[in-house]
Amino acid sequence: MNIEQIQQQVLQAKPLQIIGNNSQLNTHFANTLNMSVYSGIVGYQSEELVMTVKAGTTIAYIENILAQSDQVLPFAVENKQSTTIGGAYAIGSPELRDAVLGVKVIDGKGRILNFGGKVMKNVAGYDVSRLLVGSKGQLVAVCEISFRVLPKAYAIPSSTRASIEPSQSEAKQQIKQNLKNVFDPNGIFI
């Protein structure tokens, strides 16, 4: 599967539920966009401390590659064998968001877009690659993700905790709704 084939599915403009290996959610929609078949390492050089992978790559696979260079992921993910990096990104965590450097996505209009990059420091344009962490597959189809990795000696003790929503306000909900309309104006991603 290549990115154009994913784009074609989006352009058919029927509501789609994006899934990886289906490890986190129970999907019950007939129309799914299965990203688990879009997998593999796009780029990795240990001295850059940066890896770029396709969304369907499993966490276990990534960790295995990193281990060969004595490096680790700076965020914790459960069910590593089945969870894909795209799935982990869609669910999101503060640590995963910290590690993200860039993404290649397809928006609801079927446009292939790149945000962020493959370097540690980058303040050109809004930080869309970190914004979309936690978007639950409802704003864009995430195709490729670049993220920071760490030498083993700097491994952060793993912690999983529940997200909180300390302050829910109408204004905040409105901003979120507006952003949904920016990325997926026709409501393709459900």
Partner 1 sequence: MQITQDLLQALPKHIVIHGDEMTRPFECDGLSMYRQKPLAVVLAENIDQIKTVIELCKIHNTPIVTRGAGTGLAGGALPLENSVVLGLSKLNKIKAVDPEARTAVVEPGVRNIAISEAVAQHNLYYAPDPSSQIACTIGGNVAENSGGVHCLKYGLTVHNVISINMLTIDGEEVTLHRDDDGIGLLALMNGSEGLLGIITEVTVKLTPKPERVQLVMAGFDDVRVCADTVSNIIKAGIIPAGLEMMDQFAIGAAEDFTHAGYPRDAKALLLCELDGDEQSVEQELTKLLALFSTASTVKVATTEQERLTLWQGRKSAFPSVGRLSPDYYCMDGTIPRHYLADVLEKITHFSAHYKLRVANVFHAGDGNLHPLILYDASVDGDIEKAEALGTEILKLCVDVGGSITGEHGVGIEKLNAMCHQFTADELDVFHQIKDAFDYSGLLNPGKAIPTLHRCAELGSMHVHNNELPHPELERF
Question: Site residues (CB under 8 A) for partner 1?
Answer: 43, 45-50, 70, 92, 94, 97-98, 107, 111, 113-115, 117-128, 130-136, 139, 150-154, 161, 163-167, 169-172, 175-176, 178-179, 181-183
| Closest CB to partner 1 among residues 58, 73 | 73
CB atoms within 10 A of CB 149: 21
Backbone phi and psi for residue 28, each to the nearest 5 degrees, phi listed first: -135, 25
The two structure tokens encoding residue 48: 């850059």
> In the complex, what is the shortest distance from the CB of residue 131 to partner 1, in angstroms, rounded to a whole number?
4
> In the complex, what is the shortest distance from the CB of residue 123 to partner 1, in angstroms, rounded to a whole number?
5
In sequence order, the 6+-apart residues with CB closer than 8 A to the CB of 138 are 180, 184, 189, 190
Residue carrying structure tokens 């459900």: 190
| Closest CB to partner 1 among residues 81, 159 | 159
Q: Are 46 and 71 in contact (CB under 8 A)?
A: yes
> In the complex, what is the shortest distance from the CB of residue 28 to partner 1, in angstroms, rounded to a whole number?
21
| Closest CB to partner 1 among residues 147, 183 | 183
